[in-house]
């Protein structure tokens, strides 16, 4: 292993590879900061430009985009409540309220340093446990995926900041939205009133509408109130010591993010939601109501898990050739174009590829951290623009991001509709978080429940016949029951 790392360092520090790494980081930052443009889209757009590059340069560039896009997605989520990627939506829960009370600089610094720490810890886990974790992920069948979705949906008990009933209404609304489109088992059409809905309601435009565009309407309603974020800049100084009070959250979220990321299909969004829920549950009872209202611990939990999931998704890709996320699937395409086959033999036939990825992640971290921290004053100064101008800019970005997700004007219409829905839901104190939770997990829960029923001959006991599923379902029961037990104790 040491020899492979030495060779990889020599390869990565070649001028052409370092240039590819820098290009990937810059492109990733731009993609991550643009609501609606995910890392998978950015990687897919850049793959044609890698045809003439050597394998190391091409793969390093794509991995840099992957990591930097997830790294930067929290910036617009914190500043203007417009998540750059679905996983960053959780960062907006507490990051944006911090911005509203003049702590944008603090929130951004915590976000960037948390991302770096989570990415570094997960990178160590990737190097040490990639093959073992990937083998464990292969044990997941329909029953395990269903149980994982149930565990995620059970977090509604801790994600709700106000009325649990209103949060449940939002969750059910999201689950209804998921049923639109093609039946995952029978292939029949459900609630398809237009051919554009055959594939269901697109997730990213709906997310942009619920979070960003609804916030545009709120900003226009407030008028030209001056932002107080300038005071936040004066108080915020980049320092790793700022993470020390959240050290337990950092360690816990790093392991959660990596473990969830290694499960194919789970993704960073689920990792962030699970990490956020555990952080809230692990906090003192007196502090739990502050989550969703500007608690820095919520930002740290989300950002650490979000970035730790990147390395987690690479583990099954490199060890078994199974993509752990959409971006990892695009990366498999990049490897295939270079004539490489991801999987166990990659470590035998082309060890320079996986070890170059490890080294590029290590080298790219300080570069991305420096860009993020040095840019904090610039990011925060953007919030001094009058709210009306910001609303106009964010609305334009929302439309551009929605259209860019599939180059289809129907996506823009979906964004506008969900923006209006999100605005009225906010007026009755229904937060978008439960809806996003349902959109992320609803399809996984339904499709895997029905597959499990087919395998188990319509016997519900099949769901509790597998050890991993039992553990996950018991975790969901504990999450749901813990608030009730807490009330009984009090």
Residue with tokens 């509408």: 209
> What pLDDT does residue 161 have?
53
Q: What is the spatial distance between Cα 82 and Cα 35, in angstroms, rounded to a whole number?
A: 6
Give me the residue spans of the domains in the chain. 2-489
> What pLDDT does residue 379 have?
59
> What pLDDT does residue 84 have?
64
Average pLDDT over residues 437-454: 84
* Tens of pLDDT, residues 361-402: 888 888 888 887 777 666 555 545 566 776 787 788 778 767
Other CB atoms within 10 A of residue 160 CB: 22
**Higher model confidence: residue 83 or residue 250?**
250
For residue 237, what pLDDT band results from cuts at 50, 70 and 90? low
On whether the CB atoms of residues 488 and 165 are closer than 8 A, the answer is: no
Tokens of 146: 């269903």
CA triplet 167, 172, 176: central angle to 5 degrees? 150
Q: What is the spatial distance between Cα 88 and Cα 86, in angstroms, rounded to a whole number?
A: 5
Judge whether residue 125 has pLDDT over 60.
yes
Give the residue from 361, 151, 170 showing the smallest Cα distance to 275.
151
Q: What is the spatial distance between Cα 67 and Cα 328, in angstroms, rounded to a whole number?
A: 11
On whether the CB atoms of residues 45 and 406 are closer than 8 A, the answer is: no
Tokens of 175: 């689950």
Average pLDDT over residues 85-93: 79
Q: What is the 3-state secondary structure (H, E, C) of the chain?
A: CHHHHHHHHHHHCCHHHHHHHHHHHHHHHHHHHCCCCCHHHHHHHHHHHHCCCCHHHHHHHHHHHHHHHHHHCHHHHHHHCCCCCHHHHHHHHHHHHHHHCCCHHHHHHHHHHHHHHHHHHHHHHHHHHHHHHHHHHHCCCHHHHHHHHHHHHHCHHHHCCCCHHHHHHHHHHHHHHHCCEECCCCCCEECCCCHHHCCCCCHHHHHHHHHHHHHHHHHHHHCCCCCCHHHHHHHCCCCHHHHHHHHHHHHHHHHHHHHHHCCCCCHHHHHHHHHHHHHHHHCCHHHHHHCCCCCHHHHHHHHHHHHHHHHHHHHHHHHHCCCCCHHHHHHHHHHHHCCCCCCHHHHHHCCHHHHHHHHHHHHHHHHHHHHHHHCHHHHHHHHHCCHHHHHHHHHHHHHHHHHHCCCCHHHHHHHHHHHHHHHHHHHCCCCHHHHHHHHHHHHHHHHHHHHHHHHCCCCHHHHHCCHHHHHHHHHHHHHHHHHHHHHHHC
Mean per-residue pLDDT over the chain, rounded: 79
For residue 226, what pLDDT band results from cuts at 50, 70 and 90? very low
Average pLDDT over residues 301-309: 88
> What pLDDT does residue 8 have?
80
> What pLDDT does residue 416 have?
92
Tokens of 37: 């443009």
127 CB-contact burial (10 Å; exposed 0-12 / middle 13-18 / buried 19+): middle
> C-alpha dihedral over 62, 66, 69, 74, to 10 degrees?
-170
On whether the CB atoms of residues 264 and 136 are closer than 8 A, the answer is: no
* Tens of pLDDT, residues 145-190: 888 788 777 766 555 556 777 878 888 898 999 889 888 888 888 8
For residue 448, what pLDDT band results from cuts at 50, 70 and 90? confident
> What pLDDT does residue 420 have?
93
> What pLDDT does residue 37 have?
62
* Tens of pLDDT, residues 26-78: 888 877 776 656 677 677 667 767 777 888 888 888 888 888 888 788 887 88
């Amino acid at each position: 292993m040491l020899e492979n790392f030495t060779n990889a360092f020599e390869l990565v520090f070649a001028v052409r590879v370092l240039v590819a790494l820098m290009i990937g980081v810059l492109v990733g930052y731009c993609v991550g900061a643009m609501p609606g443009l995910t890392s998978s889209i950015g990687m897919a757009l850049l793959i044609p430009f890698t045809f003439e590059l050597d394998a190391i340069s091409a793969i390093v560039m794509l991995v840099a985009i992957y990591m930097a896009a997830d790294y930067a997605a929290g910036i617009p989520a914190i500043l203007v409540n417009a998540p750059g990627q679905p996983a960053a939506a959780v960062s907006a829960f507490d990051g944006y309220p911090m911005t509203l009370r003049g702590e944008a600089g603090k929130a951004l610094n915590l976000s960037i340093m948390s991302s770096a720490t989570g990415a570094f810890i997960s990178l160590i886990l990737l190097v040490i446990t990639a093959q073992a974790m990937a083998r464990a992920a292969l044990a997941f069948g329909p029953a395990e995926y269903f149980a994982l979705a149930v565990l995620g949906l059970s977090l509604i008990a801790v994600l709700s900041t106000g009325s649990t009933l209103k949060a449940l209404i939002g969750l059910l609304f999201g689950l209804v939205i998921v049923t639109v489109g093609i039946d995952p088992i029978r292939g029949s059409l459900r609630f398809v009133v237009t051919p554009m809905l055959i594939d269901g309601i697109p997730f990213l435009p709906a997310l942009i509408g619920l979070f960003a565009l609804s916030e545009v309407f709120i900003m226009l309603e407030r008028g030209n109130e001056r932002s107080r974020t300038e005071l936040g800049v004066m108080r915020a100084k980049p320092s790793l010591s700022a993470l020390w009070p959240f050290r337990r959250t950092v360690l816990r979220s790093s392991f959660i993010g990596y473990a969830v990321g290694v499960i194919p299909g789970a993704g960073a969004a689920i990792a962030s939601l699970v990490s956020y829920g555990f952080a809230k549950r692990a906090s003192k009872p007196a502090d739990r109501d502050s989550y969703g209202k500007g608690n820095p611990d919520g930002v740290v939990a989300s950002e650490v898990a979000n970035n730790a999931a990147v390395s987690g998704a690479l583990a099954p890709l490199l060890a078994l050739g199974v993509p752990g996320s959409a971006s990892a699937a695009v990366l498999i395409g990049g490897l295939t174009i270079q004539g490489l086959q991801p999987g166990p033999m990659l470590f035998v036939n082309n060890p320079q590829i996986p070890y170059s990825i490890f080294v590029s992640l290590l080298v790219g971290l300080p570069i991305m951290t420096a860009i993020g921290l040095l840019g904090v004053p610039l990011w925060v100064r953007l919030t001094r623009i009058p709210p009306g101008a910001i609303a106009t800019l964010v609305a334009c970005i929302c439309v551009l991001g929605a259209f860019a997700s599939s180059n289809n004007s129907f996506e823009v219409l979906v964004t506008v509709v969900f923006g209006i829905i999100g605005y009225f839901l906010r007026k009755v104190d229904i937060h978008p978080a439960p809806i996003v939770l349902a959109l992320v997990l609803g399809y996984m829960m339904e499709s895997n429940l029905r597959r499990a029923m087919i395998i188990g001959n319509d016997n519900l006991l099949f769901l509790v016949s597998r050890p991993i599923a039992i553990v996950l379902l018991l975790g969901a029961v504990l999450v749901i029951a813990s608030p009730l037990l807490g009330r009984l104790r009090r």
